[in-house]
Amino acid sequence: MRPTLRARDCLGALALALILCGAAGAAEPTQWLARMNRALTTLDYEGTFAHWQGGRVEMLRIIHRVEHGVVCERLTSLDGSGREFIRRGSDLTVYLPDKKVVLVEHMLPKSSLLGGIPVINAETAHFYRIRKVAHMRIDQHDTRLITVMPKDAYRYGYRLWIDRGGMPLKIQLWDTRHGGEVIEQIAFASLTVRSHIPDSAFAPGLSTAGYRWLRNDAPAPKAGDASAWGALWLPPGFHMAMRASQSMPGTPGQVDHLVYTDGLASVSVFVERKAAASTSGTPATESARMGASYVFSTFVQGHRVTAVGEVPARTVRSIADSVRDQSPAYPSLPGPFAHPPRP
């Protein structure tokens, strides 16, 4: 009996150990992603990285600081356009020296901003396979390679090399269709976590004399303040995370801004009410690609609908095509989305 009991005890312990190991193993990749999200949004850091996309490599510099809950961020193109993006709290400023334009944009207060975007959770696993693939060294740093690959073709995948502090030293965006292809890569050449970054680090490095300033002086948008516009078709797992009505520089009247996300990928839909070109009688569509993101614009019921998202082109287009005013004035307009697209 004694040997039997021992064997039983051992088997029980082994089974428990396997269960615990299995649970820890399954949770670990998502914990790495959560750690990365925390590091990216809470640490003070500065670094230089190479951004590769579509055959071009550009060096950029990023400085990020969170002080008393206020996020300051500066992104500068080092060898390309000379453009700069500077964020101070809810104010976003984009300097476009090649166009002699400065864009000033407001966004929602932080509490409404990231709070509206779901974190990686059990639901994410329905649409992505999240795995810890390997232990690797990048530029003398220990990293974990975490892969986040979609289970369908509505979204892109990611390969992330995350160091112990949670900073992603290298990021690849993958289009998993057609056998898989890297469509964008960000790789840090230097990255330093700082205890303090002075205000002067967030001053623009260019003179704006003679620049045209396009600013939106209206108050920041309020979440939920929008009309009844919405997408009637969404890819599996996507849902509305934010809806707001806001003024945007250069756009007359209010623009409805809707955000759809599956927790990782997101698509914004902008509805410009009664846009001027809608009266021409020749509704048009246009699309563009910016980095790994797509933009698709069309006219719906006399309003311009523009969708922007870091997802495949067809996903952006299908969402934009399905956007309708769902107020009682347009109760039963048939849409082209009765047969949603197959990836």
Partner 1 sequence: MNEELDSQLSAMFDDELPAAECELLARRLSRDEALKARWSRYAVIGAVIRAERGVVLQSVVADRVNAALTKEPRFADTAEARGLHGWVRLAAGAGLAAGVAAVSILWLRMEAPGAQPGQMTVASTAAPAPASAAPRAADSFVVPPLARHQPMMMIPPTQLADYVVAHSAYSWPISRGSLLSSLMVSDPGTLSPSAAAAQRAPRSHGNATHASR
Restricted to residues 100-159, the positions that interact with partner 1 (CB under 8 A) are: 100-101, 103, 105, 107-108, 113, 116-117, 133-137, 139, 145, 158
Select the residue interacting with partner 1 from 31, 35, 83, 193 (CB under 8 A): 83
Neighbours of 2 (CB within 10 A): 6
206 touching partner 1, by CB under 8 A: no
Q: How far is the CB of 330 from partner 1 (least distance, A)?
A: 13
Q: Which candidate, 280, 239, 281, places its Cα nearest to that of 262?
A: 239
Per-residue DSSP letter, 197: -
203 touching partner 1, by CB under 8 A: no
How big is the site for partner 1, counted in residues (CB under 8 A)? 128
DSSP element (H, E) containing 11 = helix 2-42
Q: How far is the CB of 23 from partner 1 (least distance, A)?
A: 25
Select the residue interacting with partner 1 from 63, 72, 130, 173 (CB under 8 A): 173
Q: How far is the CB of 244 from partner 1 (least distance, A)?
A: 10
- 209 HSE (CA, 13 A, CB side): 1
Q: How far is the CB of 242 from partner 1 (least distance, A)?
A: 6
328 touching partner 1, by CB under 8 A: no
CA distance 113 to 116: 6
Q: How far is the CB of 195 from partner 1 (least distance, A)?
A: 21
Q: Is 179 left (phi over 0), alpha (psi -120 to 50) or beta?
A: left
63 touching partner 1, by CB under 8 A: no
Residue 242's identity, in one-letter code, is: M
Select the residue interacting with partner 1 from 92, 125, 193, 201 (CB under 8 A): 92
CA distance 54 to 141: 27
CA distance 269 to 304: 10
56 touching partner 1, by CB under 8 A: yes
Select the residue interacting with partner 1 from 182, 206, 218, 333 (CB under 8 A): 182
Q: Binding string, 270-289, against partner 1, x = CB under 8 A? A: x----x-x--x-xxxxxxxx
Select the residue interacting with partner 1 from 111, 121, 190, 192 (CB under 8 A): 190
Please tell me whether residue 113 adopts helix, strand or coil conformation.
Answer: helix
Please tell me whether residue 288 adopts helix, strand or coil conformation.
Answer: strand
CA distance 174 to 164: 23
Q: Which is nearer to partner 1, 172 or 197 (CB)?
A: 172
Count how many residues are written for the chain: 343
